[in-house]
Structure 1
Amino acid sequence: MEQDKPLPARIKAKAAELGFAACGVARADAAPRAAERLRQWLADGAHGEMIWMEARADQRVSPAGLWPEARSVIALGMSYAPASDPLALADVTGRGRISVYAQGADYHDVVKRALKALARWLVEEAGGDLKVFVDTAPVMEKPLAEAAGLGWQGKHTNLVSRDHGSWLFLGAIYTTLDLAPDAPGNDNCGSCDACQRACPTDAFPEPYRLDARRCISYLTIEHAGPIPHEFRAAIGNRIYGCDDCLAVCPWNKFAAAAHANRAFHPRAELTAPALADLLALDDAGFRQVFAGSPIKRIKRDRMVRNAAIAAGNSGDHRLVAPIAALLDDAAPVVRGAAAWALSRLDRARFEAERAARLGEESDPEVRAEWRDQAPSDARSRSTEVR
């Protein structure tokens, strides 16, 4: 009978029923090295503008820092393994690339809904107090998932699973119950450095360490201002996130798309959106296109900025008109990106617009975009990474 099984086994069975592909248990104090690594990462400034990482570091370093009563952590993973190659659009002119995880429903909603259902079941089954987390609280999901045996933190710093590759959304339940822990995950990266070599912006100063300030996911999602010139060409047509380091992981060969949670199946309009359509978005249009998607949180200006950078990298002269229309945009970050893109797509048009606009532009960063690209963009090109 199911009721005769140990509680951790019943938890795992219920988790699978709710759509989780992986589940494990760790003691609340099972990842002590994570605190030291986090503090060093913050001290190095590698978190960039993600000030919330520093502001709540004392709560993030261990479950006890956030909730002293926690005794066990139930770590859970939900697969979003893609059915097609995430890198297939790398050279497709006029189309934007959206990270696999953001092409479907918002994982925050889907994972939290399942976590809450599991939590309700656990309280009915065994009592105790608990808290559920998915990405929005100061919780170090990856070290805890490794401690619970779901996999290991790979050289790209994300969790790698023997069964699901690099394609797991993570969630956690902190509980006052004393549950028998699972064996921790073992590092199986070996000598492989595929993820390190795949990074377009050299965001890994060394294996197992990420400098977010150089990461395309950070630059296109978390970074609010103009994207630094040295990274613009390397961004290519990535308009939200970057899958390169994840997609080349050899362990992905075991990650079957058939096992992915159906909630994350891609929406057709988000698999290869036309840059021209994205450049034309206003606030209402952005909200409509990205309703129910995690992309909605970056808001319209940041998405159009990203699309303008991708347009500048496209070499597609058909995008000159929609780019030029953004030179009058209300958002400085959009105007600046549009000026840069125009300098790449149509030099004569850029020079004419520069002569007409530079003297009237009030924003210093936009003025810098007009000045830095004249009389040629050789200076910016010389600093672009591969």
Structure 2
Amino acid sequence: MMRRVSTSLANNDVQYNLRMQESKANKMNNQMGSQRKIQDLRDDPLAAGHLVRYQSYLTRVERFEQNAKTLTDQYSVSEGYIRHSLDVMHRVRELAVAGANGVYTKDDMQNMASEVNELLKELVTSANAVGPDGTALFAGTRTKNTAFEIELGPVPGSGDALITDVRYKGSLNQNDIEIDEKAYMNLNRTGNSIFWAEEQTLFADRDASAYQVKSDSVINIDGKDIKLKAGDNVYSIISKINNSGAAVKAQLDPVTNGLNLRTTDARQLWLQDKKGSALFDLGLIKDASQRPPYNLGAAAQVSGGSLFDTVIAFRDALLRGDQESIGGRVLGSLDSGVGNLTRRIAETGAQYERAQVAISRSQTNNLNTNAMIAREGDLDITKGITDMKMLDYVKQATLSTAAKLYNTSLLNYIK
């Protein structure tokens, strides 16, 4: 009886193992080429999930670092202009001290007024400064507009048209930039607080003792929305304003029973009826069609002005030869303005230092996150080389075994 002997089974086994070795070698080659151990999500689902989260966080950290660097640039430029303004105000104060001592003639004081007028122009130039990116530094979020607008007109004692008023045309809003998870810093600066000389006070002329809010309303004071309920009386309104966090305090005038508002530091009052007409009814502002900050009630009295108001008053007093005004209110207002500029420089410097700390923190987080990404996703080159060599040895052994198997033919079984 003849018996048929087949070698197909051994051949299939050899071919299968060779294809498996080639697949593993190809995967290892891809890992070595990309230096990443995860080529597909199924390679290590848990590590792949961690890796996606780490890479997403790394992108945010890099954005935080860039935001903080942008802030430091902005603060550096802003601080330079504020310091320059402070130098201008120091010179103006020196002239005010000299003009108040009573030893100069009227002609001498008029000559001094010429220098003060030029210093006023330089102060306006600093307030309207534009940053390297072409945006206004002190206009709030209205960065494409000029922060302050000047008005020219005749002034007694001068034959030329001089600056008679400087009005803030920016906004009270500021752009927040994220420097860490849910941590923000302000990018823009508002000129009506930096270039202000005194605390501003608004005295309403209407008796508010019996006032009640007609319907649910929303008023905006210094950028803070304050909700009023129908039936709220003046004392409830005062309490809500004082507890709103706005840099403004309210009180009822003991003589006129009118509602008085006063800023807590040198800044301009910013009032608006966003819903209803509570502030208009109390005589604090004009109708809602008027935009702040120059919408204060016509009958209301206002005290406390800007640095420009102070310098203009000083210049005009010099032109009149009014030494008494210079030595009194003008000099006091100049001192207040210098103090405010000094505080603003300190604030800007503190913000700059915080931004620098944020940069350092982001750089540290960047290194730590990269280490996590490397742990989860990077290939261990030493292990990779070892595995490659092992795969090569296995392949050579498989080929050697196959060669010995193929040396056997049917003739070896014929007896």
TM-score band (shorter)?
under 0.3
For the pair shown, the structure with the greater C-alpha radius of gyration is 2
Bigger relative CO (Cα 8 Å, ≥ 6 apart): 2
TM-score, length-scaled by structure 1: 0.21
TM-score, length-scaled by structure 2: 0.20
